[in-house]
Amino acid sequence: MKILVTGGTGYIGSHTVVELQQKGFDVLIADDLSNSFPETVDNIADITGIKPLFEKVDLSDRTATRILFEKYSDIVAVIHFAASKAVGESVKKPLLYYRNNLNSLINVLEMMEKKNIPNIVFSSSCTVYGQPDVLPVSETAPLKKAFSPYGNTKKICEDIIDDTVAASDIQAIKLRYFNPIGAHDSALIGEYPQGVPNNLIPYITQTAAGIRQCVSIYGDDYNTPDGTGVRDYIHVVDLAKAHVIAVERMLGGKCKSPSEVFNLGTGRGYSVLEIIKSFEKVNNIKVNYKIVARREGDIEKVWADTSFANKELGWKAERDLDNMMLTSWQWELKRKK
């Protein structure tokens, strides 16, 4: 059974392709390589022994999307990762983000309707909750105004999916990720941040590797145990496995409603300082850091109520923080080489 993975050479996409192949699925990757590299396809093949099909396609281009779906008539489900994802860039270039993220989803859904492909897994984010009133945050929490155009595209995409599901035979599973980090044990795939990293873990690994001088901790006056921001960090391989379960759930006709939504986190929050200390301890390396002012748009703290995903999907994050720190560093070292 062929699964189309859009954005399949990207960070979460590539890990998901590996897990799908290891479960026996036939995978077709569609990616425009705007934020990833073609070598990832070979690296996936090195891990699994199977080279996934690959098409370089910009899915925000309606004609190109149509040609892709015309070429492959045996797609049974789509996992839609393809999107721009830099929060800061989205503030500076909102139209780019709305055009890319909304058009690609609309084009994919349109072709799914046309070709009678009834299953989509969508890559959403905990950003839709903003700063939640209650922690841990569950799927029933109210959605808040997005802090960035990127975050808003995730909210709007969820609405587009729900409206499409209501009017068609398509069923959807929307997965709201907390903070994905770590890399595959092989260190053959991982995240490639372009330029100066925005996210905490690549900043830490690049500082430890001597590429950056010092990690800036954005604020130590938050209402958290040590004053630094708290997030629910989840290993990308755990996240990838949840996508396979979601696909199997849809193909097995086990969905309880035509549009389901699940939080994907560990259920536990760690502060920025805890992350740096853990990285230093696990990898036996010092990381320079300094406290600076809060970063605009950051929330104070968030972690997931994962009970719904645990119960309904039979999925639970298995990797601990040590493993996240270890694999992140192994990946940085491999890339340095």
For residue 57, the minimal CB distance to ligand UFG (Å) is: 23
Question: Under the criterion CB under 6 A, does residue 87 sit at the interface with ligand UFG?
Answer: yes
Q: What is the CA radius of gyration of the chain?
A: 19
Residue with Cβ nearer ligand UFG (60 or 125): 125
Q: Which listed residue (179, 259, 263, 306) binds ligand UFG by CB under 6 A?
A: 179
For residue 239, the minimal CB distance to ligand UFG (Å) is: 12
Specify the DSSP element, H or E, that contains 333. helix 321-336
How far is the C-alpha of 94 from the C-alpha of 145, rounded, in Å? 15
Q: Which residues contact 49 (CB under 8 A, 6 or more apart)?
A: none
How far is the C-alpha of 14 from the C-alpha of 8, rounded, in Å? 5
Question: Under the criterion CB under 6 A, does residue 112 sit at the interface with ligand UFG?
Answer: no
Q: Give me the phi and psi of 281, to 5 degrees please.
A: -70, -50
Dihedral over Cα of 138, 190, 83, 146: its sign: positive
* Nearest in space to 217 (alpha carbons), one of 330, 232, 226: 226
Q: Which residues contact 217 (CB under 8 A, 6 or more apart)?
A: 228, 272, 273, 276, 289, 290, 291, 292
Question: Under the criterion CB under 6 A, does residue 125 sit at the interface with ligand UFG?
Answer: yes
What residues act catalytically? 150
Residue with Cβ nearer ligand UFG (157 or 215): 215
For residue 274, the minimal CB distance to ligand UFG (Å) is: 11
For residue 243, the minimal CB distance to ligand UFG (Å) is: 17
Site string for ligand UFG, 295-314 (x = CB under 6 A): x--x----------------
For residue 72, the minimal CB distance to ligand UFG (Å) is: 30
Q: Which listed residue (22, 48, 138, 216) binds ligand UFG by CB under 6 A?
A: 216
Q: Closest residue to ligand UFG, Cβ-based?
A: 229
How far is the C-alpha of 49 from the C-alpha of 26, rounded, in Å? 13
Q: Which listed residue (69, 122, 203, 279) binds ligand UFG by CB under 6 A?
A: 203
User: Which residues of this protein are in contact with ligand UFG, per CB under 6 A?
Assistant: 85, 87, 125-127, 150-151, 179, 198-200, 203, 215-218, 229, 231, 272, 295, 298
